[in-house]
Amino acid sequence: MSAENLVTRADLAETVHESTHEGGGDRGPGHVTEDGRKIGGVVMEMKNITLRFGGVTAIKDISFDIREGEIRAIIGPNGAGKSSMLNVISGFYVPQEGEVWFRGAKRPPMKPYQVARQGIARTFQNIALFDGMSVLDNVMTGRLTQMQQGILAQALWKGPAEREEVENREKAEKIIDFLEIQHIRKTPVSRLPYGLKKRVELARALVSEPTILLLDEPMAGMNVEEKEDMCRFVLDVNDEFGTTIALIEHDMGVVMDLSDRVVVMDYGRKIGDGTPDDVRNNQEVIDAYLGVSHD
């Protein structure tokens, strides 16, 4: 990217503002943030998504986009529809209305494993690890979506299957080093404190080498020190691997520090979309969410 293409965070705010009003749509030019990170064009776009569970409308006609390389936060009160939105992106729920666009093409309804194969990984609001298994084995399960060799080849333990197993193990060890959990790699997950379990879940998502990472409240329930660590790892993942990150988070300090842009949801509607400063100064957002405390 040449120097004249460099755009500041303030310029981005302008672009975001315009594209929000036009409903997004253009994949747009890339830019570099003030702290030197590269943000590309639109990689994922939600267009007029509506999701209902029986009589409950969890998401009402919401549109927003995610740019390559950015950290995009989704915030809002309990029950606003944030996890439901992440579940639409990950293919867990198929919305009744609206379209999901990925890399410039409309995505047909897909199963979660098909979405995972497209390079989209996630963590869950409630930890979903195999409790009796070691940290290393849990992390290894994150490679399952990438595996090429069938069960029979794995069982016979020969040739390509053996090579694949070795490669998977190397990738798992690399991520374990990156997240600084070498010392617990043989420990059963059930024996770990909460903060470390969350980190193991992040490791399992990362080992599939995703281009987009979806994090549902990665810091919920953590103490201050654990939160600081997790913030640092989220930033490092984004910086070192160039991973695009969409995260749900209630701690506004964390959201303001980490994210490039923020979507605000309330009762299934979108009530704000822009830079952290934009949403902090948005009266509707202040009334619905920022004015009250959230645990």
The owner of tokens 């980190």 is 199
Q: Which does 62 bind (CB under 5 to 8 A by kind): Mg ion, ligand ATP, none?
A: none
Q: Which does 80 bind (CB under 5 to 8 A by kind): Mg ion, ligand ATP, none?
A: ligand ATP
- Using the minimum distance from each CB to ligand ATP, give the nearer residue, 57 or 154: 57
Residue 107 DSSP one-character state: P
Backbone angles phi, psi at 180, to 5 degrees: 55, 50
Distance (Å, whole) CA 72 – CA 255:
9
Rg (CA), the chain: 19
Is residue 83 at the binding interface for Mg ion, with CB under 5 A as the rule?
A: yes
Which of 111-119, 120-128, 163-171, 185-193 is the region at the interface with Mg ion (rule: CB under 5 A)?
Answer: 120-128
- Using the minimum distance from each CB to ligand ATP, give the nearer residue, 53 or 157: 53
Q: Footprint of ligand ATP on residues 113-132 (CB under 6 A)?
A: 125
Q: Footprint of ligand ATP on residues 56-115 (CB under 6 A)?
A: 56, 58, 76, 78-84
**Helix axis angle, 159-178 to 194-206, nearest 10°:** 130
Distance (Å, whole) CA 280 – CA 284:
10
Is residue 138 at the binding interface for Mg ion, with CB under 5 A as the rule?
A: no
- Using the minimum distance from each CB to ligand ATP, give the nearer residue, 120 or 263: 263
Binding marks (x or -) toward ligand ATP, 266..295, rule CB under 6 A?
------------------------------
Q: Which does 78 bind (CB under 5 to 8 A by kind): ligand ATP, Mg ion, none?
A: ligand ATP
Give CA separation, 84 vs 164, 178, 185, 246, 257, in Å.
35, 30, 32, 13, 24
Name the residue with the smallest CB distance to Mg ion: 83
Of 244, 239, 262, 243, the C-alpha closest to 252 is: 262
Residue 116 burial by CB count (10 A; 0-12/13-18/19+): exposed, middle or buried?
A: buried
The residues, ordered by sequence, that sit 6+ positions from 269 with a Cβ below 8 Å of its Cβ are: 60, 61, 62
- Using the minimum distance from each CB to ligand ATP, give the nearer residue, 69 or 218: 218
| Shortest distance (Å) from residue 91 CB to ligand ATP | 15
- Using the minimum distance from each CB to ligand ATP, give the nearer residue, 58 or 214: 58
Count of residues engaged in binding ligand ATP, rule: CB under 6 A = 12
Backbone angles phi, psi at 42, to 5 degrees: -70, 125
Residues near Mg ion (CB under 5 A) are: 83, 125
Q: Which residues bind ligand ATP (CB under 6 A)?
A: 53, 56, 58, 76, 78-84, 125
